[in-house]
């Protein structure tokens, strides 16, 4: 970059942190382009999952999470990111243009950045400890700072959300295209993307447990003595006032903000998008859980049992696959991914 702006090492460090963001099936649907004075985020449509995410909502959520990770990374490195979202109406896959300005890192900047390499998607059972109300309020504040609403699903709303999760799982189980795609993107051992076997538990048959995606070859064990799905597991629903591309992108940024804050508090988290990937169940969540606002993400949150083994980091693609000079083409064709 130009003199007076971050050097290449700083940019590469921030982008590497951004690429630690969660995405559906760990598909990593982003590309970064670096100009003389700006960093640009593009959607990688080659990694959109047709069976799981036909309208690209999950893709935008993942890219939004990566954008927030980038902002956090640069802030901790001494640079404030000024973000121009969807800067070119003629190029809808150009999701953001980021200008950088000198910045003195705050303690919160450093805390959130330190949470990036520690964050994991933990699909295992939680302990019986209740998430404190103060923690939930902190997470809601982080979501509000990104222009979204985060609320816990309680009482009747929790019941309706659990029903929507179960119904969506049934719809997907009956869809051969979805099952084939899920098998292709999971059960991996050495691939740089997808869901590794070591990070996927088998279906939990404990009474009352929420159904989870049926990942291929799940090898992650449940902690001994961990309870089944109980009220101590908080189900948090993140929603927006509208449902356009901007709202979905901002919801992804809010998802990142909440996940990093939760990680810094010591909480275990797992994003759940399956009930929002089926039109009927997403409508039910909107009508019965979020009061008419558009649900974008469900976050399963709680305390990991004290005897839970640390989770390995899920793999990421090499930086040279996702980072290039501005003007380098971004792939558009759909590719079939396999083990």
Taking only the tens of pLDDT, the chain with its 339 residues reads 665 689 999 999 999 999 999 999 999 999 999 999 999 999 999 999 999 999 999 999 999 999 999 999 999 999 999 999 999 999 999 999 999 999 999 999 999 999 999 999 999 999 999 999 999 999 999 999 999 999 999 999 999 999 999 999 999 999 999 999 999 999 998 999 999 999 999 988 887 789 999 999 999 999 986 665 666 899 999 999 999 999 999 999 999 999 999 999 999 999 999 999 999 999 999 999 999 999 999 999 999 999 999 999 999 999 999 999 998 988 654 444 444
Question: Are 46 and 95 in the same domain?
Answer: yes
Within a domain: residue 53? yes
Are 182 and 218 contained in the same domain?
A: yes
Domain of residue 215: give its range. Answer: 133-302
Which pLDDT does position 230 carry in this prediction? 63
E strand residue ranges, the chain: 30-34, 38-43, 79-85, 94-102, 149-152, 186-188, 195-196, 234-240, 268-272, 294-302, 323-325
Report the sign of the C-alpha dihedral through residues 48, 50, 52, 53, in that order.
positive
Same domain, 286 and 156: yes
Residue 25 belongs to domain with CATH number: 3.40.109.10
**In this predicted structure, what is the pLDDT of residue 337?**
46
The answer on 255 and 143 residing in a single domain is: yes
Same domain membership, residue 146 and residue 290: yes
- Determine the pLDDT at residue 220: 96
Q: Domain for residue 186, yes or no?
A: yes
Does residue 164 share a domain with residue 37?
A: no
335 in any annotated domain: no
Same domain, 137 and 278: yes
Q: Report yes or no: 326 and 33 within 8 Å, Cβ to Cβ.
A: yes
Return phi, psi of residue 40, to 5°.
Answer: -125, 140
Q: What's the residue count for the chain?
A: 339
Q: Residue 59 domain-assigned? A: yes
Q: Is residue 307 part of a domain?
A: no
Q: How far apart are CA 71 and CA 86, in angstroms?
A: 16
Do 170 and 32 belong together in one domain?
Answer: no
Q: Can you tell me the distance from the alpha carbon of 38 to that of 28, in angstroms, rounded to the nearest whole number?
A: 21
């Amino acid at each position: 970059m130009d003199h007076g702006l971050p050097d290449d090492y700083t940019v590469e460090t921030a982008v590497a942190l951004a690429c630690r963001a969660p995405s559906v099936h760990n598909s990593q649907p982003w590309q970064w382009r670096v100009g003389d004075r700006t960093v640009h985020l593009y959607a990688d449509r080659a990694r959109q999952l047709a069976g799981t995410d036909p309208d690209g909502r999950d893709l935008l959520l993942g890219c939004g999470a990566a954008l927030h990770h980038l902002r956090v990374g640069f802030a901790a490195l001494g640079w404030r990111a000024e973000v121009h979202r969807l800067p070119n109406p003629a190029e809808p896959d150009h999701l953001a243009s980021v200008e950088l300005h000198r910045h003195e890192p705050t303690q919160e900047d450093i805390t959130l950045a330190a949470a990036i390499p520690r964050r994991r998607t933990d699909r295992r059972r939680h302990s019986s400890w209740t998430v404190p109300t103060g923690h939930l309020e902190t997470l809601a504040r982080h979501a509000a700072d990104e222009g979204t609403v985060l609320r816990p699903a309680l009482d009747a709303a929790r019941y309706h959300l659990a029903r929507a999760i179960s119904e969506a799982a049934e719809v997907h189980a009956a869809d051969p295209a979805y099952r084939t795609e899920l098998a292709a993107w999971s059960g991996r051992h050495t691939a740089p993307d997808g869901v590794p076997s070591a990070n996927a538990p088998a279906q939990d048959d404990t009474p009352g447990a929420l159904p989870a995606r049926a990942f291929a070859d799940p090898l992650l064990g449940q902690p001994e003595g961990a309870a089944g799905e109980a009220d101590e597991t908080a189900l948090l629903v993140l929603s927006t006032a509208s449902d356009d591309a901007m709202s979905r992108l901002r919801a992804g940024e809010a998802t990142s903000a909440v996940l990093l804050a939760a990680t810094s508090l010591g909480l275990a988290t797992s994003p759940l998008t399956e009930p929002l990937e089926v039109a009927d169940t997403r409508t039910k969540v909107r009508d019965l859980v979020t009061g008419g606002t558009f649900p974008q993400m469900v976050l399963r949150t709680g305390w990991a049992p004290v005897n839970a083994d640390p989770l390995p980091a899920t793999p990421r693609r090499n930086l040279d696959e996702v980072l290039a000079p501005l003007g380098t083409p971004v792939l558009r064709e759909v590719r079939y991914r396999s083990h």
